[in-house]
Amino acid sequence: MTRLFTLILAALLSLGAGAADTAKGVLDKTAKKLSSYPSCQAQFTATMNGRGTSGSITIQGRKFVAVMPETTVWFDGVTMWTLIKSTNEVNVTTPTAAELQRMNPYYFLNLYKSGYDLSLATRGGQHVVSLKATKKQSMKSMEVSVDKSTYLPTSVVMTSQRGSQTTVSISNIKKGKKAPDATFRFNKKDHPKAQVIDLR
């Protein structure tokens, strides 16, 4: 009887452990950890339609600034400024959700709680969360890889409704200090010769 009770208890404990690592549970832990940072800094490499770029990004809530060899992008939560370095032009836009998803590798943290079915798999030392849209969304599906030990994201693969795929690999994630709001806005004084084109 004691052995039977021990086996039942072990089975119940294993069920409880399995329930803790649900797809939503993994992303909840990731979201909680990242939201505890005053700001988050990381390196990234992005590939879309065979073309790639790399750079650094600073994220604070919905705001971010991304610096790449070809461009620098500022987003203050509403407006996006894109500096094209080869032409010294700055395009000012109000970005769509799809554009934000492609630019900010952490944007999935604003999406996963509704409108997507989630499933969880394991790949080496990674939790792999698959998100499939349950209604029409800018992204048809996403796959988020999260380090099992740190619960920090390591890559995001996004597939649009048209089938184009964007892969973002994330590394060197660091906690930063809270940045002034001006950090996430284009400053004409820093680029006095840039031509500003308002496309809003």
Q: What is the tens place of the pLDDT at every residue in 13-66?
A: 333 333 346 999 999 999 999 889 999 999 999 898 888 899 999 999 889 999
Q: Which of 44, 92, 102 is nearest to 69 (CA)?
A: 44
* Cα–Cα dist 154/62, whole Å: 19
Give 120-146 pLDDT, tens digit per residue: 999 999 999 999 999 888 789 999 999
* Cα–Cα dist 172/56, whole Å: 10
**In order of start, what are the domains of the chain with their CATH numbers?**
22-198 (2.50.20.10)
Read off φ and ψ for residue 15, nearest 5 degrees: -65, -40
Rounded to two decimals, what is the model's pTM?
0.79
Distances (CA, A) of 200 to 39, 75, 79, 147, 197: 28, 14, 9, 38, 9
The residue-averaged pLDDT of 157-167 equals: 88
* Cα–Cα dist 66/58, whole Å: 7
